[in-house]
Amino acid sequence: MWKILAGLVFGVAVALFGGYSYFPSLMFTERVSPFGVEETVARIQQNIQASNKGWTLSGLRNAAKPIEKDGGNVLPVLMIEACSTRYSGPILKDDTLRFLSILMPCKISVYKKSDGKVYIGTMNASLIGAMFGSKVGTIMKEVAEDQQSFLKFDPTKPAPKMIEGMPGGGGGGAGAGSAGGC
């Protein structure tokens, strides 16, 4: 009996450790970009604007800037923010799901690491959506598919110009009533 119980406890401990170790790589994805930081951002922005699913840019944040202002030195980190009311609307209209507004707008991070390479970081929207039931799961699966299309680059096309500032409106993304926010 003790062997069975010890085996069960050991098995649960191994499963928990494995889940703890592996879970972050499931929740977030990271891929190398073939371009520099600004060109990667510009190409993603262009793909978002070209989407026919109601996506709009709501902001571009320089996450390294506050650290630099405090006298620190950090490699570039730019966060592209985009939203589609096609996806945010059904979630924000449902009081039981409104807490998921924390996931809005959709963010794509472009950053440089000390190895000199530029990376694109995204949240696994499909997996996160699946945790909140079929309605959110279905919506977030579509968001994930769109997000993947934003990260497809045609290297034969010239690089577009990066859109700086807040394309959707004011300081924290789009302001109330502005077309770009969620």
Helix, strand counts (H, E) of the chain: 6, 5
Confidence tier at 180 by pLDDT (50, 70, 90): very low
Tokens of 121: 């970081």
pLDDT digits (tens, 9 = 90+) for 3-61: 665 555 555 555 555 545 555 567 889 999 999 999 999 999 999 999 989 999 999 99
Query: What's the whole-model pTM score?
Result: 0.80
pLDDT of residue 21: 52
What structural domains does the chain harbor? 27-150 (3.30.310.70)
pLDDT of residue 128: 87
On whether the CB atoms of residues 104 and 58 are closer than 8 A, the answer is: no
Tokens of 58: 């709501």
Which alpha helices (H) appear in the chain, and where do they start and end? 2-27, 37-50, 65-69, 85-92, 125-130, 134-150
On whether the CB atoms of residues 59 and 109 are closer than 8 A, the answer is: no
pLDDT averaged over every residue in the chain: 84
